[in-house]
Amino acid sequence: MSSPIRPAQPADVPVILRLIRALADYERLTAEVTANETRLHKSLFPDDGSAPMAHCVIADVDGAPVGFALYFFNYSTFLARPGLYLEDLFVQPEFRGRGLGKALLLHLAKLANQRGCGRMEWAVLDWNQPAIDFYKSLGARRMKEWQVCRLAGEALTQYA
Amino acid sequence: MSSPIRPAQPADVPVILRLIRALADYERLTAEVTANETRLHKSLFPDDGSAPMAHCVIADVDGAPVGFALYFFNYSTFLARPGLYLEDLFVQPEFRGRGLGKALLLHLAKLANQRGCGRMEWAVLDWNQPAIDFYKSLGARRMKEWQVCRLAGEALTQYA
């Protein structure tokens, strides 16, 4: 089978936003989604010559997008190398079990290797046991000793 | 007092590497540091026209660099906005207690606001209680429910 994974195009923005919202629903975080098509388009496909803030690949079934992975490059000072950070990965429930999630992940691992990344990282919710088990089976390590701190919204504005 | 914080210059690369190693010692992660000056220089000050992989600011005392913060921009799909990710922040022990760490953090919070970032994030080790208490006092939230998964080195190469 040829890979069903392809880079996202500007015309995919509406479906990417729908998939982001579906992922947030699954993560019980719907209230946190304030993204809109205009900002998403500008982030992924800036028309002012600036670099994209993030990149997106799409999984198609019969020519229709049913899953996506969105990533950016982070940086490790300890390695002095870039890393690939997978921000979101989602496949519509009715299209699961076909290996699309695995294909998206593998596509990005290959890209990370090609780009000289020392590592690939992503975050998982601590109650999402199926995902935790799957990631472990790939050889990924959970960095349990590290906790992410976030200064956001009003707290950030006030502090600054 | 004028801000002792300034953007790093190429001539700072050797001292930045020393500070990265000192931070790793403090985090008991010395063995993980494989960074060298050549790669660090290329990452922060690429001379091939590509964008820097990360950015660095320096805290000076009497004209000598004694602390640094290294950051890059990440991306939130839920917000469809960039975020500022603080990868490293360190002040040499003998220069602590003068507010340099706070000045570095505040400098980056202001930058995050200017750049339209929805949030500023960083990671803390779960045993580093002084840091945890300090970050809490700023209004930062620890995202305890999220755990970072990492596929690195051999495991990444093999998988890809």
| pLDDT of A14 strictly over 90 | yes
**Which band of pLDDT confidence, cut at 50, 70 and 90, is reported for residue B3?**
low
Mean pLDDT, chain B, integer = 94
User: Quick one: pLDDT at residue B65?
Assistant: 96
Which of B77, B106, B127, B136 to substitute to test the interface with A, most A CBs within 10 Å?
A: B77
Burial of B94 (0-12, 13-18, 19+ CB in 10 A): exposed
| pLDDT of A49 strictly over 70 | yes
B100 close to A126: Cβ distance less than 8 angstroms: no
Which of A21, A41, A149 to substitute to test the interface with B, most B CBs within 10 Å?
A: A149
Please give the C-alpha separations between residue B150 and each of A11, A33, A108, A139, B54, in angstroms, as whole numbers: 32, 25, 13, 9, 20
Closest CA–CA distance from residue A45 to any residue of chain B (Å): 12
C-alpha–C-alpha distance, residues B149 and A52, integer Å: 24
Q: In which domain, by residue range, is A115 found?
A: 5-157
pLDDT tens for B105-132 read 999 999 999 999 989 999 999 999 989 9
A135 counts as catalytic: yes
pLDDT tens for A87-120 read 999 999 999 999 999 999 999 999 999 999 989 9
Bridge partner list, A27: none
Burial of B129 (0-12, 13-18, 19+ CB in 10 A): exposed
Would you give the DSSP letter of residue B40?
Answer: H
Mean pLDDT, residues A47-75: 96
Mean pLDDT, residues A126-155: 93
The most confident of A68-72, A125-129, B116-120, by mean pLDDT? A68-72
**Which band of pLDDT confidence, cut at 50, 70 and 90, is reported for residue A4?**
confident
Q: What is the pTM of this model?
A: 0.94
ipTM field: 0.92
pLDDT tens for B20-38 read 999 999 989 999 999 999 9
C-alpha–C-alpha distance, residues B149 and A125, integer Å: 10
Burial of A78 (0-12, 13-18, 19+ CB in 10 A): buried
Nearest to A145 among B24, B125, B135 (CB): B125
| pLDDT of A1 strictly over 60 | no
| pLDDT of A23 strictly over 90 | yes
The dihedral sign for the CA sequence A147, A152, A157, A158: negative
Burial of A155 (0-12, 13-18, 19+ CB in 10 A): middle
C-alpha–C-alpha distance, residues A69 and A56, integer Å: 6
| pLDDT of B58 strictly over 70 | yes
| pLDDT of B84 strictly over 90 | yes
Domain count, chain B: 1
Give the side-chain half-sphere CA count within 13 A for B107. Answer: 23
Could you please report the per-residue DSSP string of B44-110? HS-SSSPPPS-EEEEEEETTEEEEEEEEEEEEETTTTEEEEEEEEEEE-GGGTTSSHHHHHHHHHHH
Cα radius of gyration rounded to whole Å, chain A: 16
Cβ within 8 Å, pair A87-B75: yes
- Selected residue with higher pLDDT from B45 and B118: B45
What percent of the residues of chain B are helix, what percent strand, and what percent coil, each to the nearest 5?
Answer: 40, 30, 30
User: Quick one: pLDDT at residue B51?
Assistant: 92
Could you tell me the CATH number of the domain that includes residue A23? 3.40.630.30
Give the side-chain half-sphere CA count within 13 A for A85. Answer: 19
C-alpha–C-alpha distance, residues B113 and B120, integer Å: 9
**Which band of pLDDT confidence, cut at 50, 70 and 90, is reported for residue B4?**
confident
